[in-house]
Amino acid sequence: MDFATIIGLITGIAMMIWAMSSGGDLTAFWDPPSVMITVGGAACAALMSFPIQRLLKTLSIFKKSIFSKSVDPMELIKDMVQYAEVARREGILALESAVKDVKDPFIITGIQMAVDGSEPDLIENILNSELEIMELRHAEGKSLFDNFAKYGPAFGMIGTLIGMVLMLRNMNDPASIGPSMAVAVLTTLYGAMIANLVASPIADKLALRSREEALIKSIIIRGVLAIQSGDNPRIVEKKLMTFLPPALRQKASSKEKEAA
């Protein structure tokens, strides 16, 4: 579970509520017409921009991004080096039994094609195609929340204009000016909160998750191709370590020296 997203969202909402309540009555910031205009309008516009089947898949991608556990690239590299050691010691056919307990279907697909003697170009093309399709799915999931971030402030401005029209039409009735002004101001507030507290952060988190998963799959592709070509396990490790930032490489090198 991604606690950072949950903690950030809950803490952000709590801070907004605290700031609102510190100035007096919290109910002053609650206006059902403003909610209907901003939240309802943004939701309807976002729904209109997506087919319903794609929307349901998008919501499942969002759920997976929040509750799925990230793969440690260092652990993955260790596993790929172990596969390279098995292939070099016992032959590449031995990998078929070595990956029986592996849960990642992407690794299984790559290793199985290598065991079957598929051409390196074919393995690379198939795995890269799967990677590209995954990135497209994730981009669709992100775009839903990008739309919320776009439409929220827009409908907040629409609500402001509606409130201003109502206020100007009833200037001769002082009792109606307050509620109309509340609609005008609160819709802008709700739109800003939808965009900056919920939709945009979630879209950014989905993009981060997509980049992390793409990195993992890229490491797997390079590892499978290196194993199939019969590279020395140390060479396999060096090839895969190039995917990591210098800080992680240095950390891994320090651990190896301590172990030695």
Backbone dihedral region for residue 230 (phi beyond 0: left; psi -120 to 50: alpha; all else: beta): left
Percent of the chain with pLDDT over 90: 25
Better-predicted residue by pLDDT, 58 or 115: 115
Q: Where are the domains of the chain?
A: 1-30, 31-259
Can you give the pLDDT at residue 64? 65
Q: Rounded distance, CA 204 to CA 10, Å?
A: 17
Can you give the pLDDT at residue 255? 64
Q: What is the pLDDT of residues 154-182, one digit of tens each?
A: 999 998 888 888 778 877 777 777 777 77
**56 and 64 in contact (C-beta within 8 Å)?**
no
pLDDT band at 254 (very low <50, low <70, confident <90, very high): low
pTM reported for the whole predicted model: 0.82
pLDDT band at 7 (very low <50, low <70, confident <90, very high): confident
Residue-wise DSSP of 3-26: HHHHHHHHHHHHHHHHHHHHTS-G
Q: Rounded distance, CA 11 to CA 7, Å?
A: 6
In this prediction, residues 43-60 reach a mean pLDDT of: 77
In this prediction, residues 221-245 reach a mean pLDDT of: 91
With a cut of 60, say whether residue 1 has pLDDT above it: no
Better-predicted residue by pLDDT, 53 or 16: 16
